[in-house]
Amino acid sequence: MRYLNKIVFINSAAIRYSEVQLDGNIHLIGTQGVGKSTILRAILFFYNADTQRLGIPVEKKSYQDYYFPYADSSIIYEVAREDGWFTVLSYKTMNRICYRFIASPYRPDLFIDEEGAPYPSDRIRSVLDKNGIKYSGAISTYEEYRNILYGNSDNKRDYSCYSLMESGSYQNIIRTIQNVLLNSRLEADYIKQTIITSLNEADSVIDLSRYRSHLSGFEAQLNDIGVFREPGMARKAAGISTLSDDIRKRDLRINDLCRQLRGAYLETERILPELSRKIHEQEAVKSDFYKQRDKLDAESKNRTATMEGELAVLKNSLSEAEAKRVFYAGKDIQTAMDRCNKLEILQQEQESLVVEKDLLSSKNKEASVLHANLIANLKNELAGFENEKQKQLLAAETEINARREARREYYRRLREESRHAASEEKERLLVDREKRTTEVAALKMRIKTARGQSGTSEELEAVKGRLGNYDANRKDLELKIRELKYELNYQTKEFETAGKHLDEDYQKLAESNEVKIEALSAKLTELTEFLDNQKDSFFNWLSEHKPGWEQTIGQVCDERLLYGKEFTAEVGEGDTFYGIRFTSGIHRNVKTKEDYLTEKKEAEEKRAGIQRFIATARQDLEAAKENLRKQYQSSVKPIKEDIYHAEYELEQLAVRKKEDESRLSALRDQAIRLRQEEIRRLEEELNAAEAVLSSIQQEIATLQGKMDRELASLDEQEKDELAALDKELSVAREAISEEIVRKKAELEERKSGYDREQLDSLTASGGDPKRLEEIHSRLAYIGGEIKYINETKALIIEYLKDKREMLDKVPDWTAESLRLQQIIHGEREELKKRLADVNRSIFKVDAELKELKEANRKALENREEYHRSTLLDWFTSRESIFSSMNRTDTDGDCRSLVREITIRISEQSQKLSELRKEITAYTGNFSEDNVFAFKTSFSDDKEYMDFACDLKEFIDEDKVSEYQSRINTRNSDIFRQITADTKSMVSQEGNIRGVVDQINADFKEKNFVGIIQCIEMRIDPSQNKIVNLLKEIKRFNEEYSWDLGQNLFASSADDTATREKATTLLRELIKSMDAYSGNLIRLADFFDLKFRVIENRNDTGFVERLTNVGSEGTDILVKSMVNIMLLNVFKRNASTVFSDFKLHCMMDEIGKLHPNNVAGILKFANDRDILLINGSPTEQDALSYKHIYKLEKDTDSFTRIRRVITQFD
C-alpha cells in the first residue's frame, strides 16, 4: 500500500518544527487563524505542486514567501510504499521551490543538528552522502516533480522507486483533490465543471470570438471577391500588374543605365588624365618629328650649302666665261691671236725687208755684196723663222702637255668623286636594302603568324570571358534566389508562427479571464438569487414582525437562515430566542443586504473591468497583429525586392548571354575578316616592301652600271681629250713644219730671185725698182700688222689671262658643276625620302593625335554632360547610385546614356501616369475597409507602385483564391469547425455520462446515511440557443459538406438552395452571437446536469441547484459524499498498472456535521481508500480519527501542533 504517511515542517509557515502523521483519518482542531488551513494547503501542495491552486488569496503572501521565509525553511513529506519508504524534501532556492527525493524514511538527524538547528540544503546533501543514502538530483520544475510522484513514464531517468502510483492521467485526481478543499458549492454548473475539468486537462470551450472574427464582414467580403472576380476587373488587375511590372523593369533598366552612366563618368574621369598624358606625349613626339625634319633639312642644307655656293660660283664663273667667250668671239680673238703670233716673224721680215730695201737702195754696194747680204739676210730670216716656230712648237707642246696632265688629273679626280659618290649611295642603298630585307622577313613572319592565328580581339576575349562566366553567374543568381525564397518562406513561417502565438496568447488570456468572468457571473447569479429570495425569506419576516431585530437576533443569525425560505418562525414568550421561536439547522455568520449589494456591485465592477481588459487585449491583439504584419512586410519587402531584382538580373543575364553569343559570332566573323584584311594588308605591305627591295636592288645594279658607265665615259672623254690634244699638237707641228717649208720655199724663191737679180744686176749694174716697190708694199703691210698687233696686244693679254683663268677652266667648271648638281640632287632626293618618312610618321602621329584629341573632346563633353545631369531630378533621386565608386561596364558614353535615360524617364513618367489612372479606376470599385485591405487613396507614386506590386504579388500568388477559398470554404471551414467543436463537445457527453453513472452506482453500493434514500444525477439536453444552433449547423454540414466547400460563389440553380441555407445559418449564428453576452461556449453549456435527492422521503425532483437538502449538515454531507464519489471514480480510473494506494481528501470546517455523519463520511471515504483530513474549531467525535492534532499559537505567534489522540491498529 502506498500513501503519504507524514508531513514535517521545519521553520516553515510560522511553525518552527512539527511532525504530522497522515497514515489515517486526521482531525485538526483549533480556533480560527492558528494554521489549520496552512497545514491543509501544504498537504494539497504535495499532491498538486501548483502554487496558484492552493486557495491562497491574492492579497496574502505567496506560497514561496509564506511557507519558506528562511534559507533553511523546508517541508518534508514521508511516503510509505509496499517496498519501503522514501522522503520528499521541498525547499526554496533562488526564489523557486525545488525538490529532492530521498530513499529513506524521515529521520530528524538528516535535517537538523543536535541542537535543533535546521541544515541548509547543501548540508543536507553532505549528511545524506555521509550516511550512504541515495537521493535524486534537484527537481526544479513542478511538472517533473508530478511526473515522478505519479509514475508518469515520460521521465527519462528511472524514478519508479519514488512513485505514489503509476498513471499518465493523474491530473484528474489532482484537480478533484484541490476542488474538494477549495470549493463548497453543490450546483449543477459546479458539478458539471468539476466532472469536465477532472476528465480533461483543460476545460473544453468553443471560442465564439473566433467565429465572430471569421464571420466579421461576411457579406461585404463576398461582395469584394465577387467584384474582384469580374472579368473586367480581372483584366484591369492584369493590366495594372503588367504595367507596374513594365515600370519596375523600366526603373531597373534606368537604374542600370544610371550605374552605366556612373561607370562611364568614372571611366571618363579615369581616361581624361591618360588622354591628356597621351596627347602631351604625342605632341612631344610630333614636335620631335618636326625637330627631326628641321634637323634633317638643316643638316641637308648645311651639307649642300657649300656645294650650292660652289655651284653658284661655278655658274657665275661659267656665265662670266661664256660672256668672255662671246666677247672674244665677237673680237675674232683667234684671228687676232694668229696675227699677233706672227709679230716676231713680221718683225724679222720687216728687218729683213728693211735691210733688203736698204741694200737695194744703196748704189754704192756692189751687187755681189748685196747678193751675199741678201742671201745672208734670207738665211738669218729663215733661221729666225725656224727658231720662232720651234719656240711656238715648244710652247704648244708645253701647253698641250700641261693641259694633258690637267685633264688626266681632272678625270682622275672625277673618277674618284664618282666612285666616292657611288660608294656612299651604294652604302645607303645597301643599308636600305638590309632594312627592307628585314622588313620583308618580318612581314612574312607576321603573315605566317596571322595565318596561324584563329582571329581574336580584346573585345572577343572579353565576350568569351563573359560567356564563360554566365553559367556561374546564373547558378549564383539561382542560388541567391533559392536562398532568398528560403528566407522569405522562413520569414513567412515566422510571421505565421508569431501570429499564432499572438492568437494563442490572447486565447489563453481570454480563456483565463473568461474563467474569472464566469466565476464572477456565477457569483453574481448567486447573489442575485439571494437578493431575489429575500421577499419570502426569514429576513423579510423579521422586518415585518420583529422591529429592531438587527441588534438582537441579527447579531447571531446566519444569512442563509435570514434569506432562506424553508423555515418556521413565530413571536412568543418563554422558551424563545430573542422572543422568537424558529426552526432551522443553519448556523453561520450573517451578511446584511448592504453587504450583498456591495459584494454584487464589486463583482459587477470586477467583471466589467475584466471584460474591458479582454476588449483592450483584443484591440492590443489586433494592434500587435497589425504591427507584426507591418514588421513582416518591412522585413520581407527587401527580400521580395531582392528576389525580383535577382530574377530580373537572371532574365537580363539570359538576354545578355544571347546578345553575347550573337556578338561572339559577329566578333568571330569580324575577327576572321580582320585577320584576312590584316593578312591582305600585310601581303600588300610585303608586296610593296618587296617592290621597294627590288627597286633598291635595281638601284644598286643601276648605280653600279651608272658608275661603270660614268667611269667608262670619263675614260673615253679623257682618251678623246688626250687624243684631241695629241692631234692639236700634231696639227701644230704640221702647221709649223708647213710654215717652215713654205718659208723655206718663199726664201728659196727669193734667193732664186736674188740670184736672178744678181745676174741681172751684173748686167745692168743697177737696182730693181719693182723689188723695191714690193718691199715697200710689204713693209707697209707689215707695219700695219705690227700696228694692229700692238693695238690688239692688250686684248690678247687680257684674252690669254681670261683664257687661263676662265675659258680653259670651263670644262672643269662644267664638269664640277654637273658633279655638284648631281650631289645636290642626290642629297635633295635623300632628304625628300627622309622627310617623306618623317612626314609619314608625322601624319601617323597627327592621325593618332587627332583621334586622341577627338576622344579627349568627347570625354570633356561627356564629363560636362554628366555634371549638367546632376541638376536633373532623376539624378538627385538616385544619389546612392551616383555616389558609388563601383564601375559598371558599358559601351555607351555619358551623352548617349543621359539622352537614353532622359527618354526612358519621360516614357516612365507617361507609364506612371497611366498606372495612376488605372489604379484609381480599379480601386474605385472597393471600399476603404475592403476584405483585401486594398488602399483606395494614394499620396505619391511610391504608394501607387507599392499597390501595383502588392496587386501583382496578389495575382501571381493567386491570393484571391486564398480569400475566395476562405469565403468559398467559409461555410465549409466554419461548419467543419463548428461540427468538429460540437462533435468534440458532444463526444465528451458519453464520458461525463459514464462518470455520472459511476457516481450513481457508487452511492447505491455504499450509502451509509439512512435519511438519504437517493442521490442521483441526470444529463438533459441543453437549452442554450447557440448550442442548439451549433448542433443544427453540425447536422447541416454532415449532409452538405461537399457543396459547402465548392458552391459559395456558384450560380447554378442546383446550388442556390444550399448556398442560401448555409448563408442563413451563418447569419443566424452571427445574430445569436451578437445577442450572447459571452465569448465562450463551454462543454458545460452542451448539457444540463440535474440532481435528485430523496431525504426523509422528501424528493427534490431533478433540479439544477440544490439550495437546501434538509439541514445545513445534511447539505454539507451530500456535498462531501458527491466529492468523495467523484474522487473515487477518478482514483479507480487513474492507474491500470498499480491500484494499491491511498489518497487524502482535505475538508475544512467539518464540525457542522453530526458526529454520526462524521463517522459515516469517514467510513464512506475510507472504504474507497481515501483518507480524510478535516479541520474544525472543536472535536466532537474523537474516536472516528486515528490522529487528532490541536493547533495553537504561542506568545511569539508561532504555531504549535500538539497530538491529542492517536489510535493504534
Please write the tens of the pLDDT for every residue from 912-934.
899 889 889 988 888 888 877 78
Last residue of a domain, one of 670, 689, 707: 670
pLDDT for the residue numbered 934:
83
pLDDT at 792 over 60: yes
**Residues paired with 992 in a beta bridge:** none
pLDDT at 118 over 90: yes
pLDDT band at 732 (very low <50, low <70, confident <90, very high): confident
pLDDT at 22 over 90: yes
Asked if residues 753 and 378 have their Cβ atoms less than 8 Å apart, the reply is no
Which one, of 300, 337, 461, lies nearest residue 823 by Cα? 300
Give the best-scoring range by mean pLDDT among 36-50, 222-236, 962-976.
36-50
pLDDT at 6 over 90: yes
pLDDT for the residue numbered 924:
87
Does residue 686 lie in a domain region?
A: no
Alpha carbons within 13 angstroms on the beta-carbon side of residue 778 total 19
pLDDT for the residue numbered 592:
56
Which one, of 597, 590, 588, lies nearest residue 542 by Cα? 590
User: Would you state the cell numbers that stand for residue 640, as one nine-digit string?
Assistant: 521580395
Please state the rounded mean pLDDT for residues 66-74.
93
Residues 6+ apart with CB under 8 A from 683: 447
* Residue 1154 burial (CB count, 10 A): 16
Last residue of a domain, one of 640, 670, 700: 670
pLDDT for the residue numbered 39:
93
pLDDT for the residue numbered 463:
78
SS3 467: helix
Please state the rounded mean pLDDT for residues 711-715.
81
Burial call 223-259: b when 16+ CB within 10 Å, e when fewer:
ebbeebeeeeeeebbeebbebbbebbebbebbebbbb
pLDDT at 968 over 80: no
Please state the rounded mean pLDDT for residues 576-603.
60
Which one, of 950, 1004, 930, 946, lies nearest residue 227 by Cα? 930
Q: How far is CA 136 from the centre of its chain?
A: 55
pLDDT for the residue numbered 593:
57
Asked if residues 1081 and 208 have their Cβ atoms less than 8 Å apart, the reply is yes
Asked if residues 558 and 587 have their Cβ atoms less than 8 Å apart, the reply is yes
Kindly report the pTM of this predicted structure: 0.46
**pLDDT: which is higher, 472 or 1012:** 472
pLDDT for the residue numbered 558:
59
Last residue of a domain, one of 638, 670, 702: 670
Q: SS3 letters for 170-183?
A: CHHHHHHHHHHHHC
- Judged by average pLDDT, the poorest of 393-407, 695-709, 759-773, 877-891 is 759-773
SS3 152: coil
pLDDT band at 4 (very low <50, low <70, confident <90, very high): very high
- The number of residues making up the chain comes to 1209
pLDDT for the residue numbered 1052:
47
User: Distance (Å, rounded) from C-alpha 226 to C-alpha 240?
Assistant: 19
| Max CA distance (Å), the chain | 262
**What is the domain-level CATH number for residue 1148?**
3.40.50.300
Q: Determine what percent of the chain is predicted with pLDDT higher than 90.
A: 10
Question: 180: alpha, beta or left, given left = phi > 0 and alpha = psi -120 to 50?
Answer: alpha
Q: SS3 letters for 136-147?
A: CCCECCHHHHHH
* CA distances (Å), origin 895, targets 251, 271, 274, 856, 867: 19, 16, 20, 14, 11
pLDDT for the residue numbered 585:
47
Does residue 245 lie in a domain region?
A: no
pLDDT in tens, 204-214: 678 788 777 77
pLDDT at 424 over 90: no
pLDDT band at 92 (very low <50, low <70, confident <90, very high): very high
User: Would you state the cell numbers that stand for residue 874, as one nine-digit string?
Assistant: 532623376
Does residue 1017 lie in a domain region?
A: no
Helix (H) or strand (E) holding 100: strand 96-102
Q: For the chain, what percentages of helix, strand and coil (3-state, to nearest 5) are there?
A: 70, 10, 20
**pLDDT: which is higher, 740 or 191:** 740
pLDDT for the residue numbered 893:
82
Helix (H) or strand (E) holding 662: helix 593-764
Give the best-scoring range by mean pLDDT among 211-220, 1002-1011, 1179-1188.
1179-1188
pLDDT for the residue numbered 761:
63
Contacts 24+ apart (CB under 8 A), 702-707: 703/422, 703/425, 703/426, 703/429, 704/422, 704/426, 706/422, 707/418, 707/419, 707/422
Does residue 710 lie in a domain region?
A: no
Does residue 634 lie in a domain region?
A: yes
pLDDT for the residue numbered 1133:
63
pLDDT at 1050 over 50: no
pLDDT at 838 over 60: yes
Which one, of 1146, 1204, 1166, 813, lies nearest residue 36 by Cα? 1146
Residue 1057 burial (C-beta neighbours within 10 Å; 0-12, 13-18, 19+): exposed
Please state the rounded mean pLDDT for residues 387-407.
80
Alpha carbons within 13 angstroms on the beta-carbon side of residue 26 total 29
pLDDT at 567 over 70: no
Mean pLDDT of the chain: 79
pLDDT band at 76 (very low <50, low <70, confident <90, very high): very high
pLDDT at 178 over 90: no
pLDDT for the residue numbered 611:
66
User: Distance (Å, rounded) from C-alpha 845 to C-alpha 839?
Assistant: 9
Which one, of 173, 148, 153, lies nearest residue 163 by Cα? 148
pLDDT band at 536 (very low <50, low <70, confident <90, very high): low
Domain that holds residue 44: 3-170+1141-1206
- Judged by average pLDDT, the poorest of 633-647, 1004-1018, 1019-1033 is 1004-1018
Asked if residues 839 and 337 have their Cβ atoms less than 8 Å apart, the reply is no
**pLDDT: which is higher, 416 or 67:** 67
Which one, of 655, 659, 644, 637, lies nearest residue 249 by Cα? 644
pLDDT at 763 over 80: no
Residues 6+ apart with CB under 8 A from 351: none
pLDDT in tens, 130-151: 999 999 999 999 989 998 988 8
Residues 6+ apart with CB under 8 A from 225: 931, 960, 963, 964, 967, 1049
Does residue 388 lie in a domain region?
A: no
User: Distance (Å, rounded) from C-alpha 185 to C-alpha 586?
Assistant: 15
pLDDT at 764 over 60: no
pLDDT for the residue numbered 574:
52
pLDDT at 651 over 80: yes
Does residue 160 lie in a domain region?
A: yes
**pLDDT: which is higher, 1112 or 680:** 680
Number of folded domains that form the chain? 2
Sign of CA dihedral 871, 877, 880, 882: negative
Which one, of 612, 598, 596, lies nearest residue 517 by Cα? 612
Please report which residue ranges of 806-893 form alpha helices under DSSP H.
810-869, 873-876, 879-882
Does residue 496 lie in a domain region?
A: yes
pLDDT at 936 over 50: yes
Helix (H) or strand (E) holding 781: helix 769-805
pLDDT for the residue numbered 17:
94
